[in-house]
Amino acid sequence: HTVEIGENVRVKMRPVELADSEEDYEESNEFTNEINSIDDDEDGDEGEEEDEEEDDDDEDGEEGETQANGSSIIHATPRLASLSDPERILKVREIGNDAVWVLSTAKPGNGVTQIRDSSIDTYWQSDGGQPHLINIHFLKRKSVCEIAFYLDYTQDESYTPKKISIRTGITFHDLEEIKQVELNEPVGWVSIPLHAEPDPLDDDEDENDADMDNESESQNRRRKPVRTFLLQVCVVSMHQNGRDTHVRQVKIFGPRSETEFTMRRAPVVSGKSTFQGVGMSQFSMIR
Protein backbone atom coordinates (compact mmCIF):
# COMPACT_ATOMS: atom_id res chain seq x y z
CA HIS A 1 0.00 0.00 0.00
CA THR A 2 1.09 3.59 -0.67
CA VAL A 3 0.26 6.30 1.92
CA GLU A 4 0.67 10.07 1.35
CA ILE A 5 2.10 11.74 4.47
CA GLY A 6 2.69 15.23 3.11
CA GLU A 7 3.31 17.10 -0.11
CA ASN A 8 5.55 15.09 -2.45
CA VAL A 9 6.10 12.46 0.28
CA ARG A 10 4.82 8.94 -0.16
CA VAL A 11 5.64 5.88 1.88
CA LYS A 12 5.20 2.35 0.68
CA MET A 13 3.77 0.12 3.38
CA ARG A 14 3.64 -3.64 3.58
CA PRO A 15 1.63 -5.78 5.94
CA VAL A 16 3.59 -6.78 8.98
CA GLU A 17 2.76 -9.80 10.95
CA LEU A 18 3.41 -10.23 14.61
CA ALA A 19 7.11 -10.26 15.31
CA ASP A 20 8.36 -13.80 15.61
CA SER A 21 11.89 -12.75 16.47
CA GLU A 22 13.83 -9.83 17.94
CA GLU A 23 15.09 -8.83 14.44
CA ASP A 24 11.53 -8.46 13.10
CA TYR A 25 10.56 -6.46 16.18
CA GLU A 26 13.50 -4.03 15.76
CA GLU A 27 12.75 -3.61 12.04
CA SER A 28 9.15 -2.64 12.74
CA ASN A 29 10.32 -0.12 15.37
CA GLU A 30 12.73 1.50 12.90
CA PHE A 31 9.92 1.94 10.40
CA THR A 32 7.68 3.53 13.07
CA ASN A 33 10.47 5.92 14.15
CA GLU A 34 10.95 7.06 10.53
CA ILE A 35 7.26 7.88 10.24
CA ASN A 36 7.33 9.83 13.53
CA SER A 37 10.41 11.81 12.51
CA ILE A 38 8.72 12.88 9.27
CA ASP A 39 5.66 14.07 11.23
CA ASP A 40 7.88 16.01 13.67
CA ASP A 41 9.64 17.78 10.79
CA GLU A 42 6.32 18.83 9.29
CA ASP A 43 5.08 20.12 12.69
CA GLY A 44 8.32 22.07 13.10
CA ASP A 45 7.90 23.72 9.71
CA GLU A 46 4.32 24.66 10.53
CA GLY A 47 5.46 26.12 13.88
CA GLU A 48 8.08 28.27 12.17
CA GLU A 49 5.49 29.59 9.73
CA GLU A 50 3.16 30.46 12.64
CA ASP A 51 6.00 32.27 14.44
CA GLU A 52 6.74 34.29 11.30
CA GLU A 53 3.07 35.23 11.02
CA GLU A 54 3.03 36.32 14.70
CA ASP A 55 6.14 38.44 14.15
CA ASP A 56 4.46 40.11 11.19
CA ASP A 57 1.39 40.80 13.32
CA ASP A 58 3.59 42.32 16.06
CA GLU A 59 5.27 44.62 13.55
CA ASP A 60 1.90 45.69 12.22
CA GLY A 61 0.76 46.39 15.79
CA GLU A 62 3.79 48.55 16.52
CA GLU A 63 3.23 50.54 13.36
CA GLY A 64 -0.41 50.97 14.36
CA GLU A 65 0.58 52.92 17.49
CA THR A 66 0.32 56.08 15.40
CA GLN A 67 -3.19 57.07 14.38
CA ALA A 68 -4.18 58.41 10.98
CA ASN A 69 -4.75 61.87 12.51
CA GLY A 70 -1.13 62.02 13.68
CA SER A 71 -1.80 61.33 17.38
CA SER A 72 0.04 58.59 19.25
CA ILE A 73 -1.34 55.94 21.59
CA ILE A 74 0.41 55.99 24.97
CA HIS A 75 0.10 53.15 27.48
CA ALA A 76 0.23 53.69 31.23
CA THR A 77 2.87 52.08 33.46
CA PRO A 78 2.73 51.50 37.24
CA ARG A 79 6.13 53.17 37.79
CA LEU A 80 7.71 56.26 36.27
CA ALA A 81 11.30 55.67 35.18
CA SER A 82 12.28 59.30 35.68
CA LEU A 83 11.39 58.97 39.38
CA SER A 84 12.47 55.38 40.10
CA ASP A 85 15.27 54.38 37.71
CA PRO A 86 18.70 55.44 39.09
CA GLU A 87 20.25 55.68 35.63
CA ARG A 88 17.38 57.84 34.38
CA ILE A 89 17.53 60.07 37.47
CA LEU A 90 21.16 60.88 36.62
CA LYS A 91 20.06 62.26 33.25
CA VAL A 92 16.86 64.21 34.05
CA ARG A 93 15.43 66.24 36.91
CA GLU A 94 11.97 67.45 37.88
CA ILE A 95 11.66 71.17 37.02
CA GLY A 96 8.04 71.79 37.97
CA ASN A 97 9.04 73.90 40.97
CA ASP A 98 10.81 76.34 38.63
CA ALA A 99 7.51 77.24 36.96
CA VAL A 100 4.25 79.05 37.69
CA TRP A 101 1.21 76.79 37.26
CA VAL A 102 -2.15 78.14 36.13
CA LEU A 103 -5.32 76.07 35.57
CA SER A 104 -8.19 77.06 33.31
CA THR A 105 -10.77 76.10 35.96
CA ALA A 106 -10.76 74.12 39.20
CA LYS A 107 -13.14 72.98 41.93
CA PRO A 108 -12.34 74.44 45.36
CA GLY A 109 -9.80 72.20 47.06
CA ASN A 110 -8.87 70.43 43.81
CA GLY A 111 -6.35 72.71 42.14
CA VAL A 112 -2.62 73.11 41.50
CA THR A 113 -1.63 72.00 45.00
CA GLN A 114 -3.28 68.61 44.48
CA ILE A 115 -1.47 67.78 41.22
CA ARG A 116 1.90 68.80 42.68
CA ASP A 117 1.79 67.15 46.10
CA SER A 118 3.23 63.78 44.91
CA SER A 119 0.15 61.95 46.18
CA ILE A 120 -1.91 59.81 43.82
CA ASP A 121 -4.90 60.05 46.17
CA THR A 122 -5.52 63.74 45.37
CA TYR A 123 -6.39 65.24 42.01
CA TRP A 124 -7.24 68.33 40.03
CA GLN A 125 -10.89 68.55 39.02
CA SER A 126 -11.89 71.04 36.36
CA ASP A 127 -15.06 73.09 36.65
CA GLY A 128 -16.05 74.48 33.29
CA GLY A 129 -16.33 73.93 29.57
CA GLN A 130 -13.86 72.03 27.44
CA PRO A 131 -11.01 72.07 26.64
CA HIS A 132 -9.36 72.03 30.06
CA LEU A 133 -5.92 73.67 30.26
CA ILE A 134 -2.81 73.44 32.43
CA ASN A 135 -0.48 76.36 31.69
CA ILE A 136 3.11 76.02 32.91
CA HIS A 137 5.07 79.32 32.78
CA PHE A 138 8.85 79.43 33.19
CA LEU A 139 10.63 82.64 34.18
CA LYS A 140 13.38 81.88 31.67
CA ARG A 141 13.66 79.63 28.68
CA LYS A 142 13.79 76.00 29.84
CA SER A 143 14.66 72.70 28.21
CA VAL A 144 11.88 70.16 28.64
CA CYS A 145 12.32 66.51 27.62
CA GLU A 146 9.34 64.80 29.26
CA ILE A 147 5.98 65.43 30.89
CA ALA A 148 4.17 62.72 32.85
CA PHE A 149 0.64 62.34 34.24
CA TYR A 150 -0.78 59.94 36.78
CA LEU A 151 -4.29 58.87 35.76
CA ASP A 152 -6.62 56.24 37.21
CA TYR A 153 -9.52 55.11 35.07
CA THR A 154 -10.73 52.59 37.67
CA GLN A 155 -11.53 55.42 40.10
CA ASP A 156 -12.22 58.39 37.82
CA GLU A 157 -13.99 56.67 34.88
CA SER A 158 -15.60 59.38 32.72
CA TYR A 159 -13.35 62.04 34.30
CA THR A 160 -10.23 60.36 32.86
CA PRO A 161 -8.62 62.20 29.92
CA LYS A 162 -8.78 60.39 26.58
CA LYS A 163 -6.99 62.82 24.27
CA ILE A 164 -4.24 65.23 25.37
CA SER A 165 -2.49 67.90 23.32
CA ILE A 166 0.88 69.43 24.29
CA ARG A 167 1.65 72.96 23.05
CA THR A 168 4.66 75.24 23.46
CA GLY A 169 5.45 78.89 22.80
CA ILE A 170 6.66 82.16 24.22
CA THR A 171 3.18 83.53 24.97
CA PHE A 172 -0.42 82.39 24.53
CA HIS A 173 -0.47 84.05 21.10
CA ASP A 174 2.16 81.84 19.45
CA LEU A 175 1.44 78.41 20.90
CA GLU A 176 2.12 75.47 18.59
CA GLU A 177 1.08 71.87 19.07
CA ILE A 178 4.10 69.56 19.25
CA LYS A 179 2.43 66.37 20.49
CA GLN A 180 -1.02 64.81 20.61
CA VAL A 181 -1.69 61.50 22.35
CA GLU A 182 -4.68 59.24 22.88
CA LEU A 183 -5.21 57.11 25.98
CA ASN A 184 -7.22 53.95 26.50
CA GLU A 185 -8.44 53.58 30.09
CA PRO A 186 -5.06 54.38 31.66
CA VAL A 187 -4.17 53.28 35.19
CA GLY A 188 -0.73 54.53 36.21
CA TRP A 189 1.87 56.91 34.84
CA VAL A 190 1.54 58.20 31.30
CA SER A 191 4.90 59.51 30.10
CA ILE A 192 5.09 61.75 27.02
CA PRO A 193 8.59 62.45 25.63
CA LEU A 194 9.03 65.92 24.15
CA HIS A 195 11.48 66.61 21.33
CA ALA A 196 11.88 69.48 18.89
CA GLU A 197 13.88 70.51 15.87
CA PRO A 198 17.04 72.59 16.50
CA ASP A 199 16.17 76.15 17.43
CA PRO A 200 18.00 78.94 15.54
CA LEU A 201 18.09 81.00 18.76
CA ASP A 202 20.47 78.48 20.32
CA ASP A 203 23.65 80.04 18.93
CA ASP A 204 26.31 78.05 20.74
CA GLU A 205 24.61 74.71 20.45
CA ASP A 206 23.78 75.18 16.77
CA GLU A 207 27.37 76.09 15.90
CA ASN A 208 28.57 72.88 17.52
CA ASP A 209 25.81 70.85 15.93
CA ALA A 210 26.70 72.17 12.48
CA ASP A 211 30.04 70.31 12.66
CA MET A 212 28.41 66.96 13.33
CA ASP A 213 28.48 64.62 10.34
CA ASN A 214 27.78 61.34 12.09
CA GLU A 215 24.30 60.02 11.39
CA SER A 216 23.61 58.98 14.98
CA GLU A 217 24.68 62.40 16.24
CA SER A 218 22.42 64.04 13.68
CA GLN A 219 19.52 61.92 14.93
CA ASN A 220 20.19 62.91 18.53
CA ARG A 221 20.32 66.53 17.44
CA ARG A 222 16.91 66.24 15.82
CA ARG A 223 15.53 64.74 19.04
CA LYS A 224 16.84 67.48 21.30
CA PRO A 225 14.56 68.65 24.17
CA VAL A 226 11.99 71.37 23.69
CA ARG A 227 13.12 74.83 24.81
CA THR A 228 10.22 77.02 25.81
CA PHE A 229 8.86 79.73 28.10
CA LEU A 230 5.32 78.35 28.15
CA LEU A 231 4.12 74.76 28.08
CA GLN A 232 0.38 74.19 27.77
CA VAL A 233 -1.38 70.89 28.44
CA CYS A 234 -4.78 70.74 26.75
CA VAL A 235 -7.19 67.98 27.78
CA VAL A 236 -9.22 67.73 24.58
CA SER A 237 -11.67 64.98 25.50
CA MET A 238 -12.53 62.50 28.26
CA HIS A 239 -13.56 58.85 28.30
CA GLN A 240 -17.29 58.14 27.91
CA ASN A 241 -17.73 61.72 26.62
CA GLY A 242 -17.20 63.12 30.10
CA ARG A 243 -17.44 66.86 30.75
CA ASP A 244 -14.91 67.57 33.52
CA THR A 245 -11.54 65.93 34.10
CA HIS A 246 -9.44 64.43 36.89
CA VAL A 247 -5.63 64.54 36.74
CA ARG A 248 -3.94 63.11 39.83
CA GLN A 249 -0.31 64.11 39.29
CA VAL A 250 1.74 66.06 36.75
CA LYS A 251 5.54 65.89 36.60
CA ILE A 252 7.72 67.77 34.14
CA PHE A 253 11.36 66.88 33.49
CA GLY A 254 14.34 68.58 31.93
CA PRO A 255 17.81 67.24 31.09
CA ARG A 256 20.60 67.65 33.60
CA SER A 257 23.63 69.71 32.61
CA GLU A 258 27.02 68.03 32.29
CA THR A 259 28.05 69.56 35.64
CA GLU A 260 24.97 68.18 37.41
CA PHE A 261 25.45 64.78 35.79
CA THR A 262 29.07 64.60 36.94
CA MET A 263 28.32 65.76 40.49
CA ARG A 264 25.53 63.21 40.98
CA ARG A 265 27.75 60.30 40.02
CA ALA A 266 29.79 58.44 42.62
CA PRO A 267 32.67 60.65 43.83
CA VAL A 268 35.25 57.90 43.25
CA VAL A 269 35.35 55.51 40.30
CA SER A 270 38.06 52.83 40.15
CA GLY A 271 40.04 54.65 42.83
CA LYS A 272 40.15 57.91 40.88
CA SER A 273 38.36 61.09 41.83
CA THR A 274 35.71 62.47 39.48
CA PHE A 275 35.88 65.98 40.96
CA GLN A 276 37.25 68.38 38.33
CA GLY A 277 36.56 71.85 39.72
CA VAL A 278 39.06 73.70 41.90
CA GLY A 279 36.47 74.36 44.58
CA MET A 280 35.55 70.67 44.89
CA SER A 281 39.02 69.14 44.54
CA GLN A 282 39.46 69.45 48.32
CA PHE A 283 36.85 66.71 48.73
CA SER A 284 38.64 64.28 46.38
CA MET A 285 40.38 62.55 49.29
CA ILE A 286 39.11 61.57 52.72
CA ARG A 287 41.73 61.57 55.49
pLDDT of 101 = 97
pLDDT of 224 = 86
Q: Is the pLDDT score of 128 beyond 60?
A: yes
pTM recorded for the entire structure: 0.63
Residue 259 sits at φ, ψ, to 5 deg, of -65, -45
User: For residue 131, is the peptide bond before it cis, meaning its omega torsion is within 30 degrees of 0?
Assistant: yes
**Range 132-168 burial, b when 16+ CB lie within 10 A, else e:** bbbbbebeeebbbbbbbbbbbbeebeebbbbbbbbbb
Cα–chain center distance at 275: 34
Which ranges in 64-178 belong to alpha helices (H)? 81-84, 86-89, 112-115, 153-156
Report the distance separating Cα 137 and Cα 100, nearest Å: 5
DSSP strand E in 80-122: where? 92-94, 99-103
Q: Is the pLDDT score of 60 beyond 50?
A: no
Q: Is the pLDDT score of 127 beyond 70?
A: yes
Q: How confident is the model at residue 119 (pLDDT cuts 50, 70, 90)?
A: very high
DSSP assignment letter at 177? E
Poorest-pLDDT segment among 192-206, 222-236, 258-272: 258-272
Residues listed for the chain = 287
Backbone angle region of 51, left / alpha / beta, with phi > 0 → left and psi within -120 to 50 → alpha: alpha
Q: 245: helix, coil or strand? A: coil
Segment 57-68 shows an average pLDDT of 47
Q: 189: helix, coil or strand? A: strand
Q: What is the largest CA-CA distance in the chain?
A: 98
What are 169-212's pLDDT values in tens digits? 999 999 999 999 999 999 999 999 998 765 555 555 445 544 54
Percent with pLDDT over 70 in the chain: 56
pLDDT of 166 = 96
